[in-house]
Amino acid sequence: MSETKTTAAQELSEIQVVQKARDFWSRFSKPVIYAGSAVILLVGGWLLYQNFILGPKQKKANDAISRAQAYFAKDSLNLALNGDGANAGFLKIIKNYSGTDAATLAHFYAGAIYLRNEDFNNAIKYLKDYSTDATQIQSAAWRMLGDAYMSVDKKEEGVSYYVKAGKLNEKDEFTSSENLFRAALAYETIGKRDEAIALYKTIKEKYPKSDKGASVDKYLARLGSISND
């Protein structure tokens, strides 16, 4: 008898669960369907954008930047920046192919060219818009930003970018020592002696085999700080 009651109770419980599910669906079926449809539309739209808009745009941008890079390699900086009439330069690539990797890289090249041409404000403008996970290239961009800021007498900003560049890829002995050395010199120019000494010592300790590591003693001596080791 107890088994019959247990079975009946289980059946009742199952019926109640099914009924609750039916009630839920009758009340919320439209919102659920709408939400599901929205997700499908979003995913579908993203796939369409990636495959039919961004993909071809990336290819065109890559073709365009390869020609601009060729001019840059030949030191034809004006043609690299502004194009030759038939082929786009870095500025037009930035404008026409926004959102592509090529347009991002074009910011780096444009900033480098403006720095070479001593147009420091435009160098800052384009280099600040550049970002990459490639640490060597990013440290180069930050070093150039440091140079540009120092040239427009914004030395605090300049030294901060030198330090960032020096610390980004610390295993790279040559570039890290060079960037930290520039930061130390910049600290000297703004009267921050202790910070300059600390960086010179860091270069000597971490990068003793580098050109800068071998020469920092004279800078430490100039600041009255020579170690006894």
Query: Model confidence over 17-75: pLDDT tens digits?
Result: 445 555 655 555 555 445 544 444 454 443 443 443 455 668 888 888 999 999 999 99
Least confidently predicted of 109-118, 149-158, 213-222: 213-222
| Number of residues assigned to the chain | 229
Q: Torsions phi, psi of 207, nearest 5?
A: -130, 55
Report the SS3 class of residue 201.
helix
Question: Do 177 and 203 form a contact (C-beta atoms < 8 A)?
Answer: yes
Which residue from 123, 169, 113 is spatially nearest to 146, judged by alpha carbons? Answer: 123
Q: What is the pLDDT of residue 60?
A: 86
Share of the chain above pLDDT 70, in %: 73
Share of the chain above pLDDT 90, in %: 60
Question: Do 136 and 172 form a contact (C-beta atoms < 8 A)?
Answer: yes
In the block, tokens 């079926």 appear at 29
pTM to 2 decimal places: 0.73
User: Rg for the chain (alpha carbons), in Å?
Assistant: 30
Q: What is the pLDDT of residue 46?
A: 35
Q: Where are the beta strands (DSSP E) in the chain?
A: none
Which residue from 101, 99, 146, 107 is spatially nearest to 125, judged by alpha carbons? Answer: 107
Report the SS3 class of residue 84.
coil
Residue 188 is encoded by which pair of tokens?
Answer: 């000297």
Average pLDDT (154-177) is 93
Average pLDDT (179-183) is 95
pLDDT band at 103 (very low <50, low <70, confident <90, very high): very high
Q: What is the pLDDT of residue 11?
A: 52
Question: Do 128 and 120 form a contact (C-beta atoms < 8 A)?
Answer: no
Domains of the chain: 132-229 (1.25.40.10)
Average pLDDT (161-176) is 92
Q: What is the pLDDT of residue 90?
A: 94
Half-sphere exposure of 206 (CA within 13 A, CB side): 20
Q: How many CB atoms lie within 10 A of CB 161?
A: 27
